[in-house]
Amino acid sequence: MSSIHLATRAASRKRFRLTVVRQNSALITGIVLLFALVLLGAFGPLFLPSPNVTAPGQSLMAPDSEHLFGTDRYGRDVLARSVAAIRLDLMLAVGVAIMAMALGSILGAVAGYIGGWVDDVVMRITDALLAFPGFVLALMIVAFLGHEIIFVAIGVTIGSTPHFVRLARARALSERELDYIPASKLAGANRGRVIFGHILPNAISAPLIQTTVTAGWAILDIAGLSFLGIGIQPPTAEWGTMIAEGYSDILTGKWWPALFPGLLMLLAVLSFQLIGDGLSRRNSL
């Protein structure tokens, strides 16, 4: 069957582009959306007022041509703040996802390959962590460590790592049985070489895909922590803090300070989910 596979692959390369578009509108949409957000986050602030300038006379003004998203209770421009938050939130979320992926995959590959007590220890800890929802875990860690951005990042990273450990370990267990592992032992490779040179590169595809989905969740976790007041603190422009500051105004009919950052956050999460979904579908084809 492998030669069918081979030939199919070779001949389908020509149609690759077309197929990707047709089969993977989710992936394309996700990428376009994320790219637009990144552009907006990178260049938007150049054309917008500073996110932290208050104007006491202009508080809670409804969206109009001057303030497209209106202003909050301190008279700050909601658009400028929402856009400024893109940088912080995206960078933090992507960083967290990558850290969790790296940490989790290495732990999983080592545990799966070496087995024995190493596996037992790693997996018991992972299971224990998995018993809590990632968000609750992050919440406990941040509450314990403090309200710095770095601690928020650490908390969310630890909360997201267990999934990666499981994914990488499952793959490492099946890779371990393939003949290229003894072959590389015979070639003189030691354990470290086998794990980092062979097991990890072959076990990494599933965790890589999971990374994008995790980045989406990380945005929600970071914003959630900030919303509860134990994550990123005001006046830093961040979607969670902005929603926290704005949600009480909804009761008085002033919906814009909370809605627009929420919408941007939704788009960001959606783009990561679409990419993750598209990638995993392509991977399984």
Partner 1 sequence: MSVLDVDRLQVEVFETGIALLRDITLSIKPGSIVGLVGESGSGKSMFSLALMGLLPSGVRVTSGKARVAGKSILKGLTNQYVNSSREDIALISQNPRAALNPTMRINKQVIRVLRQRCNMTFKEARSEVHELLARVGIPDVGRVANSYPHQLSGGMCQRVVIGMALSTRAPLLIADEPTTGLDVTIQAQILMLLRKLVGESDEKSVMMVTHDLAVVSSMCDQLIVLYGGQVMEVGPTREVFANPRHPYTKFLLESLESYADGSADSTPSVSENPIDFGLSGCRFSNRCPFSTPVCQTTPPPAIADNTRIAYCHNLESI
Partner 2 sequence: MNNLLNVRDLRHTYVKGRIQTHAVRGVSFEVARGETIALVGESGCGKSSTARLIAGLETATSGSVSVAGHDIADIATDKRLRRLVQMVFQHSDQALDRSWNVERIVAEPLLRMDGLRLSAARTRTVAALNSVGLGDDFLSRRPRELSGGQSQRVAIARALISQPELVVLDEPTASLDQSVRTRVLDLLKRIQEERNVGYVFISHDLASVRRIADRVAVMYLGRIVEIGRTAEIFANPRHPYTQGLLRSEPPIDPAVKWEITPMKGETPSASAIPDGCAFRGRCPIADEACATVDPLLLPVGSTRQLACIHRSVDGPI
Q: Considering only the C-alpha atoms of the chain, give the largest distance between any 2 of them, rounded to a whole number of Å.
A: 77
> Which residues inside 4-23 make contact with partner 1, applying CB under 8 A?
4, 6-8, 10-12, 15, 19, 23
User: Is there binding between residue 284 and partner 1 (CB under 8 A)?
Assistant: no
Residue 15 touches which member of partner 1, partner 2, none, C-beta under 5-8 Å by kind:
partner 1
Cβ atoms of 73 and 57 within 8 Å: the answer is no
Residue 116 touches which member of partner 2, partner 1, none, C-beta under 5-8 Å by kind:
none
Closest contact distance (angstroms) between CB of 117 and partner 2 is 18
Residue 201 touches which member of partner 1, partner 2, none, C-beta under 5-8 Å by kind:
partner 2
Cβ atoms of 177 and 146 within 8 Å: the answer is no
Closest contact distance (angstroms) between CB of 11 and partner 1 is 4
Which of 25, 174 has the CB closer to partner 2? Answer: 174
What type of residue sits at position 176?
R
Residue 202 touches which member of partner 1, partner 2, none, C-beta under 5-8 Å by kind:
partner 2
Residue 131 touches which member of partner 2, partner 1, none, C-beta under 5-8 Å by kind:
none
Cβ atoms of 222 and 78 within 8 Å: the answer is no
- Provide the b/e sequence for 111-143 (b: ≥16 CB within 10 Å): bbbbeeeebeebbeebeebbeeebbebbbebbe
- Please report the DSSP string for 20-80 in residue order: HHHH-HHHHHHHHHHHHHHHHHHHHHHHS--TT---GGGTTPPP-SSSTT-B-TT--BHHH
Question: Rounded to the nearest 5 degrees, what angle is found at the Cα of 189, between the Cα atoms of 170 and 104?
Answer: 30
What is the C-alpha to C-alpha distance for residues 87 and 257, in angstroms, rounded to an integer? Answer: 19
Closest contact distance (angstroms) between CB of 280 and partner 1 is 17
CB atoms inside a 10 Å sphere around CB 36: 12
What type of residue sits at position 242?
M
Helices 205-227 + 78-114 axis angle, to 10: 140
Q: How far is CA 115 from the centre of its chain?
A: 29
> Which residues inside 181-200 make contact with partner 2, applying CB under 8 A?
182-190, 193, 198
Cβ atoms of 254 and 60 within 8 Å: the answer is yes
The stretch among 1-9, 56-64, 119-127, 234-242 that binds partner 1 (CB under 8 A) is 1-9
User: Is there binding between residue 282 and partner 2 (CB under 8 A)?
Assistant: no
Closest contact distance (angstroms) between CB of 160 and partner 2 is 25
Residue 19 touches which member of partner 2, partner 1, none, C-beta under 5-8 Å by kind:
partner 1
Binding mask 143-182 for partner 2 (x = CB under 8 A): -----------------------------------xxx-x
Closest contact distance (angstroms) between CB of 78 and partner 1 is 46
Which residues form the interface with partner 1 (CB under 8 A)?
A: 1-4, 6-8, 10-12, 15, 19, 23
Which residues form the interface with partner 2 (CB under 8 A)?
A: 2-3, 5-6, 9, 178-180, 182-190, 193, 198, 201-202
